[in-house]
Structures are given as C-alpha cells and as structure tokens.
Structure 1
Amino acid sequence: MTGILDALAERLPPGAVVTDPDVVAAHGSDHAPFCASGTALALVRAASTAEVSAVLELASEHGVPVVPQGARSGLTGGANAVEGCLLLSLERMDAILGIDTTEQIARVQPGVVNADLSAAVAGHGLYYPPDPASWEWSTIGGNAATNAGGLCCVKYGVTADFVRGLEVVLADGRVVRTGRPTAKGVAGYDLTRLFVGSEGTLGVITEITVGLRPAPEAPLTAVAFFASARAACTTVTELMASTAPRPSMLELMDRASVDVVRRYRDLGFPDDAEAMLIMQSDRGAGLAPGDLDRFAGLAAAHGGDALVAADAAEGELLLEARRSLAIALERAGSFLSEDVCVPRAALADLMEGVAAISARHGLAITCTGHAGDGNMHPTVLFDADDPDQVARSARAFDEIMELGLALGGTISGEHGIGLVKRDWLETELGAVSLDLHRGIKDLLDPKGILNPGKVITMEGRRR
C-alpha cells in the first residue's frame, strides 16, 4: 500500500494526500446509521480533473478501491470508507465555471454547494430548482451522484431533470464528456442519465452542466391541519389529480413529526392535529392567491382547517416547521430516515401502515415528506445504547421497505441505495435487471475499484 502513497505524492501537489489517522477517520462515513465503515488508507483532496484522473489511474494500477466524497451529507452510507481505500474528496473543486444567461445553463465543479449555486444564478434572474433538505451544505456533485430531490420536486423535478451534461473520470483515469449544453440532443445512448444517480460506482463526476429556469416570483403559502392522515392524503390526491396548475411545494407532516418539532420549537400549531399539509404556489401575486384558495377549499371539504399566509414572510413562518424537522430529529436522539415513494393513491395506506409498524415495535416513527410526489420519509427514532431498541428499529426499517414495495412503490425516491438499502435492491428490480446492473458495472469498472459494495454487490454475476 505504501507504493500507491509514494506514487500519489509524486503526481499530486503537496498536501493533497492526507494520512493523519484522525483526519482520515473523520471523513470515514456519512450520516447513515447501521452502516459499517472500514479504515481508509488515505484521504486525497483533489483540486482538478487532472488530479482526479491521476488518482484513478494509479488506483487502477495498484488495485486500490476509491470512495468518492462530497459533503458527506448522505443518509445511506454511500460515502462510507471501505477497508484500505482512498477517500477521494471533491470539496476543493468548488468553482462555478460559468453562467450562460442566453442558454440558461451553468457549468459547475462538483464541490459547489447547492445554496451557493442558487444564490449565484439568482443574481442573474435565474433559478436552479432542485433543493434537497441539505441544500445549504450538500454539493452539486453529490446531488448528481444520488439524483437528489427536494421540496420543489412536485413542480420542477429532480436533479436528473436539470443535468444536461457531465465530465466524468472513469475507473482507469480516462476522462469522458457526456450530454451537451443544448436544450435538445438525442445522439447516442443517454450516458448522462446513466452516471446521474450511480453513487460513484461507475465514474467520478468532475463537472456538471445544469439547466436553469427564469426565477419565479416569491411563493405564497397555505397550511391546513387535519383530524386524520387519511383526510390529508385524500386532499393531496384530489389536488394533484385536478387540472389546476401544480403547486410549487406540497409537504405533509404527521402528528409525530409535528410533536418532534414542537419539542424543539413551539410554532403555535394545534395540539390535536393528526396531520399537516403545507402548500406553496410561485405563480405570482395575480395567480397564487387563487391556487391557495383552491387548496383551502379542498382541505375544508375533507375536514381540514386551512390558514392562508398574508404574505411571503408569514409563509416562511408556516414553513419553518418543515425546515426545522431535521434539526429537531437530531436533537431527539438516534434516528434512521427512509424515503420510500408510492403512488399518490397509496399515500394514505403508507401513512397508516407506518403508524401500525410504529405501534407494533413500540418505537416512535415520524412520517413526513413530499406528499405531491408520494415520496415520504418515515424516520425511526431509537436509543442507540439500547440493543433491544436497535434491533427493533432494524426490523421496523425492513417492514417499511416491504410496505412501500407492496403498495407499488420504490425503496428510494431520492436518498439513493448506498449500503443501507443494497440488500433490498434485488427485491425491487428482480434478478434480470440486477444482472444488467452488474454487467454495466463490470464494463465501466472491470477491476471493481469504484465505491465497491455500494448500490449492488457483484456476487452472482452471470457472464
């Protein structure tokens, strides 16, 4: 192993290779519980595509695994170290290379923070819609690697819907460009979509060209409280099935989620509500009020008590409960957050099924998420120092995965697979599809050095 460290020292600038065990260990995992992480050989802080290429070329020659990393804000173990690997950090590649207002695109390096890109393009009257909950610290490279979603997906779509092209370093160090900056283009296979969401298992993304939109007007907000989760879900399905324009946000929080937030910060919401919907419209002062009134009317028809914000500032206050949930969960103790996505017609069944799992295992499980997409985040709360609770939380996780699939859904709407859900992937995909996945991995990474063991395992590959 010292051979590759010497070779890296020769090819890379001073300070790029870090072997201090404390520093390396601090970069050994993301935010996922229940995920093993190995001891990495070194942390490599790359500052250019050429440096990434050199790292992968040498790693391929020496047969050393490489785990690409961004801000390590993921929740599935996708950035966790494997034994004897190089942790390849892309955080230093944080330049916005260009903003083209004519074509409405931006070229960025993978280490650019989502919020920084959003602020930069806003200065040109443009908008980058994908906004994962971690948008203030997650990077565009990590967003692309996991095909991240966010609160505005219901109207605008996920990261893949905005990635027009990529620069990717392959496992042997070769560099390939995929896609194109034009608004349209269908020449050849869609390699861009292949790499987006591949979680660093097929190549390392070193540049992203993203499409932008004209900046919308400041959104207006409404909130509605319901006596049952099913009533809230019925409101969602009727709103989304209507011919009315889509909301720019439609979020659902169950009672357990609101209670967790209340313990962190009391926002004055009613104590007896079993579910809360938050809806936004960004169609401007002339149209948004009508959208909110339509939502309030639907909510009332299902027993909901709706409140329409008077202005954007009041709307931000109503949205604070949703934005505060992540911090509130962290303060509540250990948790395992999931992101099953089901057809909207099955949303109520998912909510009630999660509540039943919570009761069966005697564990608090919050259920909140992007109701307009059917993408919910059941989050199991447990005491990490109690072995019985840890075991029950693992069983609850499996039952949530099983429930999502039984309802015609998927095990991941936006978080990715990583390590946490890898063993469930074949259940969803089936043996033939999984074999195709392994074939693609084998073609692009024949030595198996790129983020090995994540997303899929190569055992059982039929050649």
Structure 2
Amino acid sequence: MDVMDVKDGAGEDDLSPRLYASLLAGLPAEALLTDPEVTASYATDMAAFCAAGTPAVVALPRTVEQVQHVMRTATALRVPVVPQGARTGLSGAANASDGCILLSLVKMDRILEINTVDRTAVVEPGVVNAVLSRAVAERGLFYPPDPSSWEQCTIGGNIGTASGGLCCVKYGVTAEYVLGLDVVLADGRLLRTGRRTAKGVAGYDLTRLFVGSEGSLGVVVQAVLALRPAPPRQLALAAEFPSAAAACEAVCAVMEAGLTPSLLELMDRTTVRAVNALGKMGLPDTTEALLLAAFDTPHAPEDLAAVGELCAAAGATAVVPAEDEAESELLLQARRMSLTALDALRPATMIDDVCVPRSRLAEMLDGTAAIARAYDLLIGVCAHAGDGNTHPVVCFDPADEDETRRARESFDEIMALGLALGGTITGEHGVGVLKKEWLARELGPVGMEMQRAVKQAFDPLGLLNPGKLF
C-alpha cells in the first residue's frame, strides 16, 4: 500500500484537514504548525544537493504519549512521518517528504537522571549535546561524543546518525555510549531496548540497530547513556608538515607506537588558510598540513613529547606544544572552526564524510587533492586523522551551473576513492538522501536485501522517513 493512501477512501484534498483534526485530538494547538512559511523553515537539514518535499504539518510533542498519538494518527491515515532533531545533519536525513508530518523532538529536552554510581544519564531526545556534557561535568562525569555542532545538535539526532566527533580516536562514537532506548514504533507501540546495567546480552542487540537508523525504524523518545569519569584537562600540540603525506606518516607512527591521544586531527593547506582568514589565528600559511594532537592523561606532557618526536621524524618543519590549557584550547579552536571557515570561502559547500583505514589516509588526501585539480575546484580537507575519517569540503557557487555540476561529480569521485581504498561512504554523518545510491554500492545486493527486510519488519507500511537510506 502506498504511504499516501488514505483510510476509508478519503481523497488527498481532504487529507490535510482530517490530519490536523486527528492530531489536535492528542496534542495542544501550539504543538502543531501549519503556516506554509513556518513549515518550510523546518523542511531541510544542512546538506546541499538534497531534495526536500512540502510537509503537511510540523508536530512538536512534549511527551511520549503525544509522540505515540502522532504515530497512531499517521498509521491510521497512511501519512509519512519524518523525525527531526536540531536539523544540523549533513546528509538530508531530516528533509521533508511531500505531505508528511515533520515530527520535531526538540521540545522533549529534559535530562531525567544523572546517576554517579552507575555512571549513566537518562535523557529525552531533544537534549542538546553541550547541555548534557556540561550537566554531567558538574557531577564529575564525562559524556565523550562531541560532534562539531555540539552546541546545537541534539542527543536524538546524534543517535539517529550515529555521530562521532573530535575525541573518537580515544573514546569512540555515539554507539558506544547508548545502553538502552525507549522507541515509539510506526504503529504507536512503545518499545524498550537495552539495559541500565554495566553489561547484558539478552537477545538481539536492538539498541545498536536503532543507532544510526536515521529515524527509519522508530522514534527515539528516551535514551540511557553511559558516562565516564571526567578526565584531566587536555594539553595539545600543533605540528606543521611540508606535505599531507608526511602528516599522515606521523599519524601512523603515533598509532603504531601504542599512544592513545584524546584527539588527533589534521587540516590541509586549504583549511589552514581558511581558518586564518576567518579567525585570524596566526597559523602559518606556508604549511601544507597541520596536525593537532592532545592528551587528557596525568602524564600528558610526556605523551606530547613522544608525539613531537614522531612528528619530527616524519618530517615536521615545526612542532609547537601548548604551554597550558588556555593555549591548548586556542589550538583546538582552530580545528573546531574549520568547517565554518571553509564554508565562508564560497557561497555553498558539500561536506563529504569518507572514512578509510588509517594506513590509507595519505592516499585519501592525495587522491582528494588530485580530484580538486581535475575538476578545477577548491576542496579543503579536515580529518579525524586518528580514525581515518576525512571530511573533504567541496566549495562552489550554486549560481554557476557548470561549477555546481563539477562539485557534484567531484563529490562522487571522492566517495568512489574512499571505497577503492577499503573505506566507507560515511563515518559519522549518515546516508540520508545524499548518499543512498552509494549505500547500495558499499553494501551490495545481499546486504541491501537484509537492510530492507529489517525496515519491513519494523515499518511495514513504509511511513517512517521514506526515501532515506534506500
């Protein structure tokens, strides 16, 4: 059955008033937005080249029961539902479908519990990442996942896209910290997955299945998250290199030496210059690659000294350790502003998210530079180098038809390069609309068949986030 078929034979012309009246039976009027200008402002996330439809309504529930009512209404009327967080995503996963309910969860923003003995937090999906991080820090605890958009992005969105961040090299990604979930299914039933215990292997791991599912299997309404003891404040160093290949050699040497930095980030020449232009950071324009390393251990100075020696051996032209936490934060601020700085170079950007084995990182960066030359485009790369997760940023002018075509083609070339190097088309941004054709190439026909079977089991009518992933 098509997701837009209406029960009892009603036609499309009378669907909208029926839909609104049905939703109003379980939500207050202020939780429903129908003004076309307002709903249009909710229709997309931050990804370029991703089509979006025209939503019928935006629903802003505050309770689990209200989310259940939305899903029961959607099932009864066969209306698609697109779950949303803060819409900071970069793959079009939160983009509207024509006639859909945009189910925005930003009003469900309570931290319900912080348990210092169990080292867990229980939160609603609209809690902003930075708000949670600061709240647990006040209790001597640490929530490690820290996407670049951590001041705006929500925990629900982080779970939906299995997001990462700067500290993944040591602490891992969001999936490692989600112990359990409350999920409203497509038909409105409430499913509880996972546990609150330190370990548990009862049945299939449905919690992990929902992490990264981009709202296509159910709507997360509560999460139990693992926390860690707060580490010491980190100290950082910056190392300048005459080539990206030399910087990648240093990355491999650091990992091979058994060191565990809390952060190991790389910026290419284009990115360094963009950061200088935006933030007046005083970074050397002559560097071809800048590597940032940090440690949050009691012996951080000794660890940084060891990294400095490895960088020098790999050909670094300068190694500059920070003298204190303030200098360290200044260095790390340069990396945090890199995407914003690249975005300022041209009217639009496409941010890729290709992850390769660390041993192939130099080939990924050199290959991306070759693609930039071949397509006569400005492409800057910043990377979670310790993970092999690169973010090539294609800068272009959407008003220039030829440049836009070249930007799209270069984006595809970069993904093809990543797969050829044994990597993946997305390390932390998700598939959404942007990369669904590439998902099929990565997973193959058998993998795609199993993915669709899982989707069918949870959402047989295809109501949840249709047109995303596959």
Amino acid across the alignment from 2:354: V
**Is the counterpart of residue 412 in structure 1 residue 418 in structure 2?**
no
Task: Point out 4+ residue stretches in structure 1 off by more than 3 angstroms.
Answer: none
Q: How far apart are residue 100 of structure 1 and its match?
A: 0.5
Amino acid across the alignment from 1:43: V
Deviation string, structure 1 residues 368-411 (Cα, Å, up to 9, x no partner):
11000000100100011100000000000010010000000000
Measured in 2, the distance between the counterparts of 1:22 and 1:429 equals: 39
Partner of residue 439, structure 1:
453
Q: How far apart are residue 17 of structure 1 and its match?
A: 1.2
Measured in 2, the distance between the counterparts of 1:5 and 1:390 equals: 39
Deviation string, structure 1 residues 317-348 (Cα, Å, up to 9, x no partner):
11121111122123222000011000001000
Partner of residue 320, structure 1:
333
**Is the counterpart of residue 425 in structure 1 residue 439 in structure 2?**
yes
Deviation string, structure 1 residues 217-265 (Cα, Å, up to 9, x no partner):
1000001000010000000011111223x00000000001111112212
**Is the counterpart of residue 379 in structure 1 residue 412 in structure 2?**
no
Q: How far apart are residue 156 of structure 1 and its match?
A: 0.3
Measured in 2, the distance between the counterparts of 1:8 and 1:271 equals: 56
User: Structure 1: which 5+ runs fail to align?
Assistant: 457-463
Measured in 2, the distance between the counterparts of 1:149 and 1:93 equals: 22
Measured in 1, the distance between the counterparts of 2:343 and 2:352 equals: 15
Measured in 2, the distance between the counterparts of 1:11 and 1:111 equals: 20
Deviation string, structure 1 residues 118-175 (Cα, Å, up to 9, x no partner):
0000010000000000000100000001000000000000000000000000000000
Partner of residue 107, structure 1:
122
Measured in 2, the distance between the counterparts of 1:202 and 1:398 equals: 27
Identity among equivalent positions (%) equals 53
Contact residue 271 and residue 341 of structure 2 kept, 8 A: no
| Residue aligned with 1:167, SS | strand
Measured in 2, the distance between the counterparts of 1:74 and 1:19 equals: 23
**Is the counterpart of residue 65 in structure 1 residue 77 in structure 2?**
no
Partner of residue 49, structure 2:
34
| Residue aligned with 1:430, SS | helix
Partner of residue 165, structure 1:
180
User: What pairs with 1:37-436 in structure 2 (closer than 5 Å)?
Assistant: 37-244=52-259, 246-284=260-298, 287-304=299-316, 305-332=318-345, 333-436=347-450
| Residue aligned with 1:253, SS | strand
Q: Which has the higher mean CA deviation after the structures are superposed, 10-19 or 401-410?
A: 10-19
Q: TM-score, normalised by structure 1?
A: 0.97
Measured in 2, the distance between the counterparts of 1:241 and 1:161 equals: 23
Partner of residue 22, structure 2:
7
Measured in 2, the distance between the counterparts of 1:120 and 1:272 equals: 41
Measured in 1, the distance between the counterparts of 2:315 and 2:340 equals: 30
Q: How far apart are residue 10 of structure 1 and its match?
A: 1.3
Partner of residue 39, structure 2:
24
Contact residue 342 and residue 380 of structure 2 kept, 8 A: no
Q: Which has the higher mean CA deviation after the structures are superposed, 262-271 or 209-218?
A: 262-271
Contact residue 343 and residue 395 of structure 2 kept, 8 A: no
Measured in 2, the distance between the counterparts of 1:39 and 1:119 equals: 37
Measured in 2, the distance between the counterparts of 1:182 and 1:13 equals: 37
Measured in 1, the distance between the counterparts of 2:305 and 2:90 equals: 37
Partner of residue 459, structure 1:
none
| Residue aligned with 2:97, SS | coil
Amino acid across the alignment from 2:147: P
Amino acid across the alignment from 2:332: L
Measured in 1, the distance between the counterparts of 2:224 and 2:165 equals: 19
Measured in 2, the distance between the counterparts of 1:382 and 1:348 equals: 24
Measured in 2, the distance between the counterparts of 1:34 and 1:134 equals: 20
Measured in 2, the distance between the counterparts of 1:276 and 1:324 equals: 14
Partner of residue 3, structure 2:
none
Amino acid across the alignment from 1:8: L
Aligned residues: 453
Partner of residue 6, structure 2:
none
Measured in 2, the distance between the counterparts of 1:324 and 1:4 equals: 43
Q: Which has the higher mean CA deviation after the structures are superposed, 42-51 or 259-268?
A: 259-268
Measured in 2, the distance between the counterparts of 1:327 and 1:350 equals: 22
Partner of residue 460, structure 1:
none
Measured in 2, the distance between the counterparts of 1:374 and 1:121 equals: 29
Measured in 1, the distance between the counterparts of 2:212 and 2:232 equals: 30
Q: Which has the higher mean CA deviation after the structures are superposed, 14-23 or 210-219?
A: 14-23
